[in-house]
Structure 1
Amino acid sequence: MIKKVQANEVQLGMYIHEIRGNWMEHPFWRKSFKLAQQKDLDKLVSSNLEAIWIDTNKGLDVVKANPAKILDGVDSDKPQSIKKPIARVLVEEELHVAKKIQNKTKEAVAAMFADVRMGKALEIEEAELLVNEINQSMERNPNALLTLIRLKNVNEYTYMHSVAVCVLMVALGRHLGLSEVQIKQAGTAGLLHDIGKMVIPNEVLNKPGKLTDEEFTIMKSHPVRGWEILKSCYQVHEAALDVCLHHHERVDGKGYPEKLSGDALTLFARMGAVCDVYDAISSDRCYKAAWSPAESIRKMASWKDGHFDESIFQAFVKTVGIYPSGTLLKLKSGRLGVVMEQSTKKLTTPIVKIFFSTRANAHIPAEIIDISKGMDSIESIEDPAKWGFDLNKIQGI
Structure 2
Amino acid sequence: MLKKISTAALRKGMFVDQFCGSWLDHPFWSRKLFIENDKTLESIVLSSITEVVIDTTKGADVASRPSNCATPDPEPAPETDADPISAAEVPAAGAPAVVSELPVSVALEDEVQRAKAIFRHGKQAVRSMFQEVRLGKALDTEGLRDLVEDMNRSLARNPHALLSVARIKHKDEYTYLHSVAVAALMVGLARAAELDEATVRDAGMAGLLHDLGKAMMPEAVLNKPGRLTDQEFEVMRQHPLEGYKLLQAWQDVPEPVLDVCLHHHEKMDGSGYPERLPAEQISIMARMGAICDVYDAITSNRPYKAGWDPSESLSRMASWQGHFDPTLLQLFVRMLGIYPVGSLVRLSSGRLGVVVEQNAGALLLPYVRVFYSATLKQAVPVTLINLAEPGENERIQAREDPQDWPFKNLERFWMGD
Which TM-score applies when normalising by structure 1?
0.76
Distance in 1 separating the partners of 2:404 and 2:227: 28
Q: Determine if contact 2:102/2:153 at 8 Å carries over to the other structure.
A: no
> Aligned pair 1:309/2:328, yes or no?
no
Match of residue 311 from structure 2: 294
Q: How far off is 1:271 after superposition?
A: 0.1
Correspondence for 1:388 among 386, 389, 406: 406
Identical residues among aligned pairs (%) = 49
Q: How far off is 1:98 after superposition?
A: 1.1
Distance in 2 separating the partners of 1:246 and 1:386: 36
Match of residue 57 from structure 1: none
Correspondence for 1:372 among 388, 393, 398: 388
After the TM superposition, list the runs of 4 or more consecutive aligned residues in structure 1 that deviate by more than 4 angstroms. Answer: none
Distance in 1 separating the partners of 2:186 and 2:275: 22
> Aligned pair 1:331/2:350, yes or no?
no
Q: Determine if contact 2:347/2:397 at 8 Å carries over to the other structure.
A: yes
Q: Secondary structure at the match of 2:355?
A: strand
The structure that has the greater radius of gyration is 2
State the superposition RMSD in angstroms: 1.8
Q: Secondary structure at the match of 2:411?
A: helix
For residues 181-206 of structure 1, the C-alpha deviation after alignment (integer angstroms, 9 at most, x for no partner) is 11110001000000000110012212
* Structure 2 counterparts to residues 111-130 of structure 1, below 5 A: 111-130=128-147
Amino acid at match of 2:325: D
Q: Determine if contact 1:350/1:372 at 8 Å carries over to the other structure.
A: yes
> Aligned pair 1:263/2:303, yes or no?
no
* Structure 2 counterparts to residues 3-22 of structure 1, below 5 A: none
Amino acid at match of 1:290: G
Q: 1:213 to 1:335 in 2, by over 3 A?
A: closer
Amino acid at match of 1:188: M
Amino acid at match of 2:180: V
Q: 1:289 to 1:139 in 2, by over 3 A?
A: same
Q: 1:176 to 1:363 in 2, by over 3 A?
A: same
For residues 120-139 of structure 1, the C-alpha deviation after alignment (integer angstroms, 9 at most, x for no partner) is 12232111111101110111
Distance in 1 separating the partners of 2:243 and 2:184: 20
Distance in 2 separating the partners of 1:191 and 1:181: 16
Q: Determine if contact 1:109/1:127 at 8 Å carries over to the other structure.
A: no
Match of residue 354 from structure 1: 370
Structure 1: where are the runs of 5+ without partners? 1-80
For residues 230-284 of structure 1, the C-alpha deviation after alignment (integer angstroms, 9 at most, x for no partner) is 0100121111101000000011111011111222111100000000001111112
Q: Determine if contact 2:345/2:400 at 8 Å carries over to the other structure.
A: yes
Q: How far off is 1:368 after superposition?
A: 2.4
Q: Determine if contact 1:147/1:325 at 8 Å carries over to the other structure.
A: yes
For residues 354-388 of structure 1, the C-alpha deviation after alignment (integer angstroms, 9 at most, x for no partner) is 22333454433333222123621011112334332
Q: Determine if contact 1:112/1:123 at 8 Å carries over to the other structure.
A: no
Q: Secondary structure at the match of 2:167?
A: coil
Q: Secondary structure at the match of 2:382?
A: strand
Q: Determine if contact 1:143/1:340 at 8 Å carries over to the other structure.
A: no
* Structure 2 counterparts to residues 215-230 of structure 1, below 5 A: 215-230=232-247
Match of residue 151 from structure 1: 168
Q: How far off is 1:158 after superposition?
A: 0.7
Amino acid at match of 2:381: P
Distance in 2 separating the partners of 1:124 and 1:108: 11
* Count of residues paired in the alignment: 316
Match of residue 318 from structure 1: 334
Structure 2: where are the runs of 5+ without partners? 1-97
Q: Determine if contact 2:356/2:367 at 8 Å carries over to the other structure.
A: yes
